[in-house]
């Protein structure tokens, strides 16, 4: 028997449990596909904890399962709450729990199984286009009342094309109808519809455009929820009527179109009026116009007759004389009033002139008074304002006198003379 030393079997490097776990964690968490991944399965158990909701997702046959966590900060954002026995679709990120050496799914969103993911994508597209204003009412255009050329985007083999032709032919014979063929089902349908709409715009003859398809399953109508188709309809320069599916069906293309008719036949009925209805309304308008004309003519004739009779009853010469007399009296009143105002204004001006002459400083100087000013130009009103040897200017009625103050006294000469007696 041969024995082998343990040292010969030992590798050069050995990983610890933590090192192995960290290596696996780095592989998982750095994988781009595992950072945001959709997973579908059946909820086998669900438990609420203080930090969040812990549940297990497994395949229906029970061959595989994965632990999932929804933190409390995301619970109010999920569309559907996981419950045991329900089929769901979850969106999350794969994470490794080092303490147990197990991986788990950190969940951000939960949708019902089956159509849940498709409904979420449709809702996201709708919200994005709605935020851009693609469905805004102010973008909607009215349809022409009497179009001469109508374009139809649909499949030539579809029953909708035949329904539209029969409806247009029955309602308004002689219309020009253009077909821009397109696939209305399958993966190539969105691009085909976009190209068909572009061909109609480039042609330039159509007054209105019908985008149509008959009813079908949700999968069959998916192309009319495609973002490319919705944008082509919303940005088309020609008014568009959507006639897609049945009454219960509603696609994003219906919301983007100027008018939504839900069915091909209803769309054809909306774009053109019935010729018979037009003829009937035309006859009604002719009769109404004739009645209005007869009524207006009779009313005008009656009014003309009343004016003629009133003219005969009036004595125009007498009225003219009365008006002339009234004008002459008003003329005299105007002259009299004007003369009176002129006299009053003249007297007032004379009074103002006398008042001005009385207040004129020169008139006061003419009576022998004088105006005394200091060298700075200020008027001297009191002996207390001057001092001996100060230079003063005396303004007389004619000329000025420069004077030196010899002496000041607060008693006037008249008073001094009176005291000496």
Q: What CATH number is associated with residue 48? A: 2.40.50.140
Please indicate, yes or no, whether residues 156 and 70 belong to a single structural domain of this protein: no
Report yes or no on 142 lying in a domain. no
What is the predicted pLDDT for the residue at 382?
Answer: 83
What is the predicted pLDDT for the residue at 178?
Answer: 94
C-alpha distances in angstroms, 249 versus 136, 220, 265?
20, 11, 15
What is the predicted pLDDT for the residue at 297?
Answer: 92
Give the number of domains in the chain.
3
Sign, Cα dihedral of 257, 200, 217, 143: positive
Half-sphere exposure (Cβ direction) of 205: Cα atoms closer than 13 Å: 13
pLDDT at 365 over 90: no
DSSP code of 362? H
Please indicate, yes or no, whether residues 231 and 181 belong to a single structural domain of this protein: yes
Higher pLDDT, 225 or 281: 225
3-class SS of residue 113: coil
DSSP code per residue over 164-190: HHHHHHHHSTT-EEEEEE---SSTTHH
Please indicate, yes or no, whether residues 105 and 192 belong to a single structural domain of this protein: no
Confidence of residue 340 (pLDDT cuts 50, 70, 90): very high
Sign, Cα dihedral of 180, 184, 188, 193: positive
- Mean of all residue pLDDT scores within the chain: 85
Please indicate, yes or no, whether residues 200 and 86 belong to a single structural domain of this protein: no
Q: What is the mean pLDDT of residues 373-378?
A: 84
Please indicate, yes or no, whether residues 160 and 250 belong to a single structural domain of this protein: yes
Confidence of residue 416 (pLDDT cuts 50, 70, 90): very low
The token pair that represents 395 in the structure block? 């303004």
Confidence of residue 420 (pLDDT cuts 50, 70, 90): very low
What is the predicted pLDDT for the residue at 419?
Answer: 39
Q: Among 39-53, 166-180, 366-380, name the one with the lowest average pLDDT.
A: 366-380
Domain boundary among 272, 290, 313: 272
What is the predicted pLDDT for the residue at 35?
Answer: 85
Considering only CA atoms, which of 243, 234, 231 is closest in space to residue 152? Answer: 243
DSSP code of 386? -
Q: What is the mean pLDDT of residues 105-118?
A: 78
- Predicted confidence (pLDDT) per residue in 73-97, tens digit: 989 989 889 988 888 889 999 988 8
Report yes or no on 255 lying in a domain. yes
Q: What CATH number is associated with residue 180? A: 3.40.50.960
What is the predicted pLDDT for the residue at 7?
Answer: 54
Please indicate, yes or no, whether residues 164 and 255 belong to a single structural domain of this protein: yes
Percent of the chain with pLDDT over 70: 92
Burial degree of 316 (CB within 10 A; 0-12, 13-18, 19+): exposed
Q: What are residue 189's phi and psi, to 5 degrees?
A: -65, -45
Q: What is the mean pLDDT of residues 275-292?
A: 83
Report yes or no on 353 lying in a domain. no
H helical segments located in 65-141: 72-75, 116-131
> How many Cβ atoms are within 10 Å of 306's Cβ, its own excluded?
10
Please indicate, yes or no, whether residues 89 and 44 belong to a single structural domain of this protein: yes
Percent of the chain with pLDDT over 90: 40
Tokens 């069906």 -> residue = 249
What is the predicted pLDDT for the residue at 413?
Answer: 57
Q: What is the mean pLDDT of residues 330-345?
A: 92
Distance (Å, whole) CA 71 – CA 107 = 8
Considering only CA atoms, which of 222, 224, 226, 296 is closest in space to residue 260? Answer: 224
Domain boundary among 224, 250, 272: 272
Q: Determine the structural domain holding residue 176 and report its residue range.
A: 147-272
Please indicate, yes or no, whether residues 266 and 161 belong to a single structural domain of this protein: yes
Report yes or no on 85 lying in a domain. yes
Confidence of residue 418 (pLDDT cuts 50, 70, 90): very low
Please indicate, yes or no, whether residues 259 and 157 belong to a single structural domain of this protein: yes
Distance (Å, whole) CA 184 – CA 189 = 5
Report yes or no on 153 lying in a domain. yes
Please indicate, yes or no, whether residues 260 and 184 belong to a single structural domain of this protein: yes
Distance (Å, whole) CA 229 – CA 256 = 9
Please indicate, yes or no, whether residues 154 and 267 belong to a single structural domain of this protein: yes
Domain boundary among 214, 240, 272: 272
Q: What is the mean pLDDT of residues 373-379?
A: 84
Is residue 260 within 8 A of residue 251, CB to CB? The reply is no
C-alpha distances in angstroms, 228 versus 12, 120, 190, 235?
59, 18, 7, 11
pLDDT at 149 over 90: yes
pLDDT at 38 over 80: yes
- Predicted confidence (pLDDT) per residue in 7-31, tens digit: 555 566 777 888 888 888 888 878 8
pLDDT at 332 over 80: yes
C-alpha distances in angstroms, 299 versus 288, 289, 293?
16, 15, 10
Distance (Å, whole) CA 47 – CA 95 = 19
Report yes or no on 90 lying in a domain. yes
- Predicted confidence (pLDDT) per residue in 239-267, tens digit: 999 998 765 667 899 999 999 988 899 99
- Predicted confidence (pLDDT) per residue in 384-401, tens digit: 888 888 888 888 878 888
Report yes or no on 152 lying in a domain. yes
Distance (Å, whole) CA 223 – CA 252 = 10
How far from the centroid of its chain's Cα atoms is residue 185's Cα? 37
Q: Among 30-39, 200-209, 212-221, name the one with the lowest average pLDDT.
A: 212-221
pLDDT at 135 over 80: yes
Q: What are the residues whose beta carbons fall under 8 Å from the beta carbon of 379, sequence distance 6 or more?
A: 371, 372, 373
Q: Among 6-15, 79-88, 169-178, 301-310, name the one with the lowest average pLDDT.
A: 6-15
C-alpha distances in angstroms, 126 versus 90, 195, 247?
21, 22, 20
Is residue 42 within 8 A of residue 87, CB to CB? The reply is yes
Confidence of residue 105 (pLDDT cuts 50, 70, 90): very high
Confidence of residue 3 (pLDDT cuts 50, 70, 90): very low
The token pair that represents 196 in the structure block? 């068909």
Please indicate, yes or no, whether residues 188 and 255 belong to a single structural domain of this protein: yes
Distance (Å, whole) CA 352 – CA 362 = 17
pLDDT at 60 over 90: no
3-class SS of residue 90: strand
DSSP code per residue over 218-281: TTTTGGGG-HHHHHHHHT-SS-EEEEES-TT---HHHHHSSEE-SSHHHHHHHHS--HHHHHHH
């Amino acid at each position: 028997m041969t024995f082998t030393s343990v040292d010969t079997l030992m590798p050069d490097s050995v990983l610890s449990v933590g090192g192995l776990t960290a290596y696996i964690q780095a592989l998982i968490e750095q994988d781009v596909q595992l950072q945001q991944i959709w997973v579908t399965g059946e909820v086998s158990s669900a438990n609420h904890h203080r930090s969040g909701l812990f549940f297990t997702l497994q395949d229906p046959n029970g061959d595989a399962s994965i632990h999932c966590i929804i933190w409390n900060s995301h619970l109010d954002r999920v569309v559907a709450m996981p419950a045991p026995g329900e089929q769901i679709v979850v969106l999350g990120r794969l994470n490794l729990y080092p303490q147990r050496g197990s991986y788990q799914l950190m969940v951000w969103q939960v949708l019902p199984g089956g159509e849940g993911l498709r409904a979420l994508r449709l809702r996201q597209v709708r919200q994005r286009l709605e935020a851009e204003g693609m469905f805004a009412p102010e973008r909607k255009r009215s349809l022409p009342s009497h179009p001469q050329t109508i374009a139809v985007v649909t499949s030539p083999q579809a029953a909708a094309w035949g329904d539209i032709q029969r409806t247009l032919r029955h309602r308004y014979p002689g219309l020009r109808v253009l077909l821009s063929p397109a696939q209305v089902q399958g993966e190539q349908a969105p691009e085909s519809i976009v190209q068909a709409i572009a061909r109609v715009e480039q042609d330039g003859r159509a007054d209105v455009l019908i985008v149509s398809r008959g009813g079908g399953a949700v999968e069959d109508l998916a192309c009319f929820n495609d973002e490319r188709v919705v944008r082509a309809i919303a940005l088309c320069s020609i008014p568009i009527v959507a006639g897609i599916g049945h009454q219960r069906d509603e696609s994003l293309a219906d919301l983007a179109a100027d008018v939504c008719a839900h069915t091909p036949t209803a769309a054809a009925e909306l774009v053109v009026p019935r010729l018979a209805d037009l003829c009937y309304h035309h006859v009604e308008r002719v009769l109404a116009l004739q009645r209005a004309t007869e009524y207006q003519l009779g009313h005008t004739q009656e009014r003309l007759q009343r004016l003629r009779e009133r003219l005969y009853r009036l004595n125009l010469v007498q009225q003219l004389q009365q008006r002339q007399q009234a004008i002459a009296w008003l003329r005299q009143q105007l002259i009299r009033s004007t003369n009176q105002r002129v006299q009053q204004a003249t007297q007032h001006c004379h009074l103002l002139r006398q008042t001005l002459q009385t207040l004129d400083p020169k008139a006061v100087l003419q009576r022998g008074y004088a105006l005394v000013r200091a060298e700075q130009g200020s008027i001297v009103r009191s002996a207390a304002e001057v001092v001996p040897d100060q230079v003063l200017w005396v303004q007389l009625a004619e000329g000025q006198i420069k004077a030196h103050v010899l002496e000041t006294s607060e008693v006037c000469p008249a008073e001094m003379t009176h005291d000496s007696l």
